[in-house]
Structure 1
Amino acid sequence: MHMLARVNDEALRSVVDLFHGARLTPTQRRIAHSLVEHAAKAAYLSAAEVADLAGVSQPSVTRFAMALGYSGYPALRRELRDLTGGEDEPGAADGNAMQLAVRAEVEHLGRLQEQLGRLDDVEEAARILMGSRPLPVLGLRAAAPLAGYFGYFAAKVHPDVRVLDVGGTPLLDRLDQARAAGGSALLAVVLPRYPRESLEAIREAKKSGYAIVAITDSVVSPVAELADVVLPAAVGTQLVFDLHTGPMAMAMVLLQAMCDAAPDLAQRRLEEFEQAAARRHLFMA
């Protein structure tokens, strides 16, 4: 399988640093995310190609470059080329659209594997979350299934997990109730198109004293500005609806780290669950 060369971690951080501190519109954040996600080839793409990659208009790419202080996109592209270094390997990708979408997910997981060579953020997030009783897990709209999936398994090793996957005014009430009961941390899953209600709930949670751990698609996601720990995992954008393979893998990595952070508690609760499952004949195998 032919893939574009990946940039190293230092070069990728340099690309990310270009966008830190800049006040970007949602459209500009989408462009920034695409440039980070495709850093290996972005420095060799035209403004029109970047626009296609990000799903925006070509003038939006030009305005994005100027918002960062460049004279236009060519100047930004030169900067990206200097930061990433090396030569691209452009060869046309083989396969149909479905294969290319899955291939892109393989590349995302490859970058996630490299990212997990440094576990400081994952381990810090695990300690924060495992110490929260109860532990609210927020995920609205596209993120709701992932919040529920994480919550289902997390409840097997954590004594009080509360999945918040429905919006509206009761959402803030449930956050207040969890805080009053002793909750100290919130796991927030925020995926494109970044529901406004999720961000508003996170802001309120932060004001009330919650530590925020966020699983999101990029370090330039709007939730990154609010979170104490950000765990990025790219989302696939080549099909009509996004692929969330990377965020799901990150969620399970985080859960493993939570088990490692409190091994006695995790083991005891798993044994209790297995005993209850056997007594109730829950499973066929």
Structure 2
Amino acid sequence: MGTTEDGGDAAEAGAGVGAGLGAVLGAGAGEGAAEGASARLLKLFESHRLTPTQRRIAHCLVRRSADAPFLSSVEVAELAGVSQPSVTRFAVALGFDGYPALRRHLREVAPVRPGPEAAPFNEYQQAVHAEIENLRHLAALLADPAPVARAGAVLAASRPLPVLGLRAAGAQARGFAYFAAKVHPDVRLLDEGGTMFADRVDGAVRAGASALLCFALPRHPREVVEALTYARQAGLTVVTVADSAFAPVAACSDLLLPAAVGTGLAFDTACAPMLLGRVLLESMCDHLPDAQASLEEFDARAAARGLFTD
């Protein structure tokens, strides 16, 4: 299984964890009735302060909203990669006597029966199908384009625009920064934390930056939470693309845009976060009046230099 446990402190993931973009849909809601079930589960979970392990269980139940009411505590523990006693403690933290009481409640608030068993797939096919589901979840989330449009406007207006990605999220941040630099006049990739991050944020703020974009993926380094806290203290509006509304970075983000990662292989897969990053780029272009001219200018220079073979 992929390494998906939340790192860092037991951040406050209760009230406000669902803020921004109808967050739970990006954390794994399906279509139709499953969306309603996921929303009801989020409403139950988001009013409590959960530990990282409990957030992981909540994330698992939201993603499996269709069959969550019918899973045993042992099955939930296996799916979430935690111990069975952790599932019991999770139920108690939500105010129930134990997991059986929580499951009865889930059958009342999210009564979606599991569908028929799918044809068996090997582990590689399962990973691909899981990513397809993550993309479907993202498509459902984007049915309301307003949050992405708002994020695009915030990012487009920031001159310069710092883009943060540490460890596993570094590739997402680098890809975004590469393309964003073709339409935005000053994009600054931040790929290290600590005092160097603080120096570069201070420099960006002095140069006029008003926002920061962060890609945050499991496992979540403690330094990402520290970095975003510092960025907000410096006066930047923090827009974060994260794997879940329950991610530790939720409490230190002004706008959280969730896109689930795949966990079926030894290393997590991040197709949905990458695609959400491209959607954000599109929204940014909509708010940059010179974007099309910049792209045409780049194409002309590339052709003159023979930059590409095609």
Q: TM-score, normalised by structure 1?
A: 0.94
Could you tell me how far 1:47 is from its partner in structure 2? 0.8
Long gaps (5+) in structure 2: 1-29
- 1:134 pairs with 2:160: yes
155, 164, 168: which one pairs with 2:181?
A: 155
Residue 271 (structure 1) aligns with: 296
Mapped contact 1:213–1:229 kept (Cα < 8 A): yes
Residue 263 (structure 2) aligns with: 237
Could you tell me how far 1:197 is from its partner in structure 2? 0.2
135, 138, 161: which one pairs with 1:112?
A: 138
How many Å separate the matches in 2 of 1:69 and 1:10?
22
- 1:23 pairs with 2:58: no
Q: Following TM superposition, where does structure 1 have runs of at least 4 consecutive aligned residues deviating by more than 4 angstroms? A: none
Mapped contact 2:66–2:110 kept (Cα < 8 A): yes
Residue 50 (structure 1) aligns with: 76
Residue 253 (structure 1) aligns with: 279
Mapped contact 2:37–2:112 kept (Cα < 8 A): no
The superposition leaves residues 134-158 of structure 1 with CA deviations (integer Å, 9 ceiling, x where unpaired) of 0001110100001001110111111
The number of equivalent residue pairs is: 281
Residue 224 (structure 1) aligns with: 250
Mapped contact 2:244–2:259 kept (Cα < 8 A): yes
How many Å separate the matches in 1 of 2:105 and 2:31?
18
Could you tell me how far 1:175 is from its partner in structure 2? 1.0
The superposition leaves residues 217-258 of structure 1 with CA deviations (integer Å, 9 ceiling, x where unpaired) of 111111122212111111111111111011111111111111
Mapped contact 2:170–2:191 kept (Cα < 8 A): yes
Could you tell me how far 1:195 is from its partner in structure 2? 0.9
Residue 121 (structure 2) aligns with: 95
Mapped contact 1:213–1:227 kept (Cα < 8 A): yes
The 1:46/1:183 distance shift into structure 2, 3 A limit, reads same
Mean CA deviation greater in 162-171 or 53-62: 162-171
Question: Equivalent residue of 1:206, what SS?
Answer: helix
How many Å separate the matches in 1 of 2:73 and 2:188?
44
Residue 283 (structure 1) aligns with: 308
Residue 64 (structure 1) aligns with: 90
Question: Equivalent residue of 1:212, what SS?
Answer: strand
The superposition leaves residues 139-189 of structure 1 with CA deviations (integer Å, 9 ceiling, x where unpaired) of 101000010011101111111111111223201111111111100001111
Mapped contact 2:153–2:284 kept (Cα < 8 A): yes
Could you tell me how far 1:83 is from its partner in structure 2? 2.4
Could you tell me how far 1:5 is from its partner in structure 2? 7.5
How many Å separate the matches in 2 of 1:121 and 1:86?
28
How many Å separate the matches in 2 of 1:180 and 1:75?
54
How many Å separate the matches in 2 of 1:5 and 1:149?
29
Mapped contact 1:143–1:190 kept (Cα < 8 A): yes
Long gaps (5+) in structure 1: none
How many Å separate the matches in 1 of 2:252 and 2:194?
20
Question: Equivalent residue of 1:163, what SS?
Answer: strand
How many Å separate the matches in 2 of 1:93 and 1:43?
23
Could you tell me how far 1:16 is from its partner in structure 2? 1.2
Structure 2: which amino acid aligns with 1:41?
Answer: D
Residue 190 (structure 1) aligns with: 216
Q: Once superposed, what is the RMSD of the aligned Cα atoms?
A: 1.6
Could you tell me how far 1:120 is from its partner in structure 2? 1.2
Could you tell me how far 1:22 is from its partner in structure 2? 2.0
Residue 215 (structure 1) aligns with: 241
How many Å separate the matches in 2 of 1:107 and 1:206?
33
Question: Equivalent residue of 2:66, what SS?
Answer: helix
How many Å separate the matches in 1 of 2:146 and 2:305?
40
Mapped contact 2:193–2:227 kept (Cα < 8 A): no
Question: Equivalent residue of 2:54, what SS?
Answer: helix
Structure 2: which amino acid aligns with 1:23?
Answer: R
Mean CA deviation greater in 236-245 or 33-42: 33-42
